[in-house]
Structure 1
Amino acid sequence: MRNTAKITTAVLTAGALSLGLTACGGSDDEAASTDGPLVVAATPVPHAEVLTFVKDNLAKDAGLDLEVKEFTDYVTPNTATEDGSVTANYFQTTPYLDDFNKKNGTHLVPVVSVHVEPLGLYSDKFEKVDELKNGSTIAVPNDTANEARALKLLADNGLIELKKGSEADATPADITKNPKKLEFKEIEAAQTPRALGDVDAAVVNGNYAIEADLKPAEDALVLEAAENSPFGNYLVVKEGSQDDPRVKKLEKLLTSPEVKKFIEDKYAGSVLATF
């Protein structure tokens, strides 16, 4: 992607694991500085694409020096934002963010919701959800927020029933009814599209579906409802950086008519602006 620094998951994940949340290349002073470019971590599609559109078409006129760093996992962007290696990130929902903060002791806060990517159930073997056979295996993301979201999608479409009150953090252990005796394979969210050849179906996050050349609006057996969705994707910063003038400029640009039109034109209903 033009003018975008791409960082591989393997290197960054190893760095995050070995150095933890404290210092993998930044400091609190650097995180607090408002000088220099605004460095934002993002997963490639659609987040980095949206940011690159802003960088190439809107940022200069707004007086914003924007730098985009691509990450292919859901962990490293948050650890990098926490330790100051980047000032902000754009890839996640608030349920995922809340769970990450709770489990990792991070201090990250949402700034503004930009878009929603409907979660979908996909299959290389079946064309309709009612074709799933008894004992079919379904891959689901293995992080708390996205696994619960995946199971809720299946419950909303009558494939399973969940224990009342478990929706926010449901796991397969919370399934109370499973008429087709579905089996679940819990894997990293980024791997779910690649698992389609090995399972009967997979619940895939919208960004990873688009990266895998899936068209959520056309290819999903069932798709999350986008209207009134609690799963907007947010621009996120470390607590204390919300008033950084550069962040304020990016917040305004990300919710501009130009970005809304870009999302509508490029993603044709597979990504929906939330503003």
Structure 2
Amino acid sequence: MKKITLTLISILLIGVLAACGSDESSASPDENKKLVLGGTIPYSDMLEKGVKPYLEEKGYTVEIKEFNDYIQPNLALKNGSLDANLFQHKVYMDAFAKENDMELTSVITVPTAPIGVYSNKYKTLEEIEDGSTVAIANDPTNLARGLTVLRDNGLIEFDSEVDPLRASEKDITSNPKNLKFTPVEAAQLPRTLESVDLAAINGNFAISAGLDLTKALARDKLPEEIINRVAVLTEDKDEQFVKDIKEAIESEQFKKVIEEDFQGFHKPDWMTK
């Protein structure tokens, strides 16, 4: 009886251990295959259409989270509720990381909606009249970009020593059309088209307002540090899911989505080579 009892106990213990091992081996991969990616419009749509399907084909369960500001997507990375985000350029990412005691790493750049000059009054830059009013962003980075678009199209000039990424109104050395500038919060720029002659509007806010990027009177030429990118916590940069996100964005499937649904976006150099 003792032998039978010991045998039964041994069988039961082996069964329990085997079941535990089975649970652990099946749960771990599933847990690792769950990804939450975040972005602002239109980059949340870019993730939804161009990245999520590719990752799901590789066995991931993917949730796309949409944000309405530029603060929460990075804080969500910090608190672990996001695995990666897509909404920011390098200048912003580095400044945010420094101010918030974070370590962020860029994974890969993506097509980026450019700042464009829009008008309900003029159809070409040549039509712009003397003394026209221009709405521009009131934050330093987007202000500089808006002014640079105007400079690159011959409407104003800067001092040659001015960094285009840090230019402000005080750096304007020539303004032949006597343009009058109205600084406004970037998100509100589309609404100003009813009250000003021109507005230099961020691409994401232009899209949200229903403006056609391809119909801007002029668009900015984005330097590498101003092109938006996928970002992750630096501690995660070598994880497999990060490599898979990069692979998804480099895929032909992603490029096709860009051609069909994101016309007028500035493409990073790696996509045009």
2:102 and 2:37 mapped to 1: Cα distance?
Answer: 17
1:220 matches 2:213:
no
Match of 1:69 in 2: 65
Q: 1:20-35 alignment to 2 at 5 Å?
A: 35=32
Distance change (3 Å), C-alpha of 1:107 and 1:209: same
2:257 and 2:175 mapped to 1: Cα distance?
Answer: 41
1:182 and 1:108 mapped to 2: Cα distance?
Answer: 39
2:139 and 2:96 mapped to 1: Cα distance?
Answer: 9
Match of 2:203 in 1: 206
Equivalent residue in structure 1 for 2:235, among 237, 240, 246: 240
SS in 2 for 1:110: strand
CA contact (8 A) 2:50 2:257 kept: no
2:178 and 2:99 mapped to 1: Cα distance?
Answer: 32
**Aligned residue identity for 2:250:** T
Offset at residue 146 of structure 1 (A): 1.8
How does the TM-score come out when normalised to structure 2?
0.78
Offset at residue 153 of structure 1 (A): 1.0
Offset at residue 68 of structure 1 (A): 1.0
Structure whose residues are more often helix by fraction: 2
Equivalent residue in structure 2 for 1:187, among 168, 184, 188: 184
**Aligned residue identity for 1:215:** D
SS in 1 for 2:257: helix
Q: 1:1-275 alignment to 2 at 5 Å?
A: 35=32, 37-45=34-42, 47-54=43-50, 57-163=53-159, 164-217=161-214, 219-225=215-221, 230-270=225-265, 272=267, 274-275=270-271
Offset at residue 209 of structure 1 (A): 1.7
CA contact (8 A) 1:38 1:247 kept: no
Offset at residue 159 of structure 1 (A): 1.1
Distance change (3 Å), C-alpha of 1:126 and 1:104: farther
1:73 and 1:231 mapped to 2: Cα distance?
Answer: 18
Offset at residue 232 of structure 1 (A): 2.3
Superimposed CA distance per residue, residues 190-228 of structure 1 (whole angstroms, 9 cap, x where no aligned partner): 2211221122211112222222222222x21112246x7
1:146 and 1:41 mapped to 2: Cα distance?
Answer: 22
SS in 1 for 2:55: coil
Superimposed CA distance per residue, residues 136-162 of structure 1 (whole angstroms, 9 cap, x where no aligned partner): 221222232222111111111111112
2:182 and 2:174 mapped to 1: Cα distance?
Answer: 18
SS in 2 for 1:249: helix
1:100 and 1:198 mapped to 2: Cα distance?
Answer: 33
Question: 60-69 vs 127-136, which deviates more?
Answer: 127-136
Offset at residue 99 of structure 1 (A): 3.4
> Sequence identity, in percent?
38
Q: Is there any run of 5+ residues in structure 2 with no aligned partner, and where?
A: 1-30
Match of 1:24 in 2: none
**Aligned residue identity for 1:110:** S
Offset at residue 100 of structure 1 (A): 3.0
Structure showing greater radius of gyration is: 2
Equivalent residues, number: 239
Offset at residue 54 of structure 1 (A): 4.1
| RMSD between superposed Cα atoms in Å | 2.3
Superimposed CA distance per residue, residues 42-64 of structure 1 (whole angstroms, 9 cap, x where no aligned partner): 0121x111211246532222122
Q: Is there any run of 5+ residues in structure 1 with no aligned partner, and where?
A: 1-33
Match of 1:31 in 2: none
**Aligned residue identity for 1:37:** K
Offset at residue 230 of structure 1 (A): 4.9
**Aligned residue identity for 1:43:** T
Distance change (3 Å), C-alpha of 1:106 and 1:192: farther
1:106 and 1:198 mapped to 2: Cα distance?
Answer: 41
CA contact (8 A) 1:122 1:204 kept: yes
Offset at residue 231 of structure 1 (A): 3.2
SS in 1 for 2:108: strand
